[in-house]
A and B are shown apart, each in its own frame.
Chain A
Amino acid sequence: MKWYEKIGYELFEPDRDQTPGEVVFFKFFELFVLVYTLYFSWKWGLYAQLRNMEVVLPLGLANYIDVSLFFDHNLALINAAIITIFAVAAFFRLGSKWFYMIVIVLLHMQYVIRFSQGEIPHSQNLIGMAVLSFAIGAAFFPDKKQMPRFVMGSIIFFIGLGYTSAFFAKLIGTGLTWFDGRHLWLWIGEKSIDILSREGVWEPNFLQSLALNSVFAASIILLIGWFTELIGFTMWWKKLRPYTTTLLLAMHFGITLTMNIRFDAFVMQLILVGYPWYLILDRYIKSTPKVLMKWL
């Protein structure tokens, strides 16, 4: 067996039988992705319609299409409505197996319409990667056992890759001195202005106070986070996955405390894909509901 096939066995677990718990969990996870897809589509559409006036920073397809056209005439809202129709149909496996592919293209458009104002947030990337995985899974692996395995395996693959990629982006962007605690001081200062601007007040919490009072403590905080990113790819291995996920969650908790950056959808999705929840469900669910098999 070649090395990449071994990784595939860890991600897709092709030899494991499909269980009722796995089916129930998969459909719950798909519902989670659907709800966030609709939430983001409408939230971004409404914001673009009400607030966006001109393109400050073109991202993705906005480099080739003038997305300011979508700021008026409710076009961003119409896009959200089309996404809703295709996403709901895809969830219930109605219509073409390419519906999720249409959803990811339109959702990309919605993102670049909304975030054409200079900010490049990443907290919605995992939902986007999940929709893309559903799109590829539905199109190329329509089999009722293969699709869930491919979707979950590819999401885990790209999560692990993303964290490790973030480690190397820092290594290339700054070098080995990236974890110098004074860099954290600057970031805490920057985020404190964002909070002060948004809320009108800002007070450092205990972790921020600790970091601001000791360059050594600040350096250790950055070093632990950076190392955790490096080992992100180890979640490709089934046995290591829960441990890596726990470390990543702890890192996100630390990011929230030190820099007031919350990745709610990202963290919830990490909790869902990082642990084998189907094992718990299998204890209580002994047969697969027929309706779920229809929607698989």
Chain B
Amino acid sequence: MRSTLAIMGKELRILFTSPIAYVVAAMFVLISGYLFYSIVLFASSQSMQIMRVQGALPQINLNDLVFRPTFHNMAVILMLTLPLITMRLLAEEKKIKTIELLLTSPVPLTAIVMGKYLAALVVFTLMLALTAYMPLLMWYYGSIQWMPILTGYLGIWLLGGVFIAVGLLASSLTENQIIASFISFGAVLILWLIGWVSQAAADTSWGSFLTYLSIGEHTENFIRGMIDTEDLVYQATLIIVGLFITHRVLESQRWK
């Protein structure tokens, strides 16, 4: 536990002394903010139209109209940005040979993997916290329900957790950061695209199997405001499997 915290601390220090964390977080906030702004514009023009037709203030659901598309956008932006946070985690250690220090210290491999994972998770959580102005604005100027927004954030947070586990695994496979980021981006995209394939093969047992595998499907319920244990189990399984394979990869690399 102590060594996990030591590794996490070191990782965070490097992430925040180098520009990576700031650049990635800034891009994430900028792009998600711009998309949020255009969604809000669209929502207000729509409500204007409804008002003109009905001649009265319409009962519009801001949660549905604004936050569902915003969470979807966040998911896609995270798919592109989180690999940039995770790519260096292990690849860099191998490249500059600091992995020799870690592996010859009395630190279990699990602590190395967990320390790195938690560090990236902390950065991601801070990134996500920066978007809190969105619901706060909507709450101040309009009326929103908080619970679906909180479950939506939980869903996105778990999704990011999966992306980070996949990214960490990709980073353990190579000592080249660009390759690591590309592998993790590809793997995450595949997890996402399975959903589209499953729609084409809908109503067959194969189709429902693919639907189960698709990560988008398991995030959707959270965004709608539901917490389903099935989804929790799915996300947790992906994270644990990702971390476990990372551990095995690091172990097997010692034997080469």
A-B interaction: no
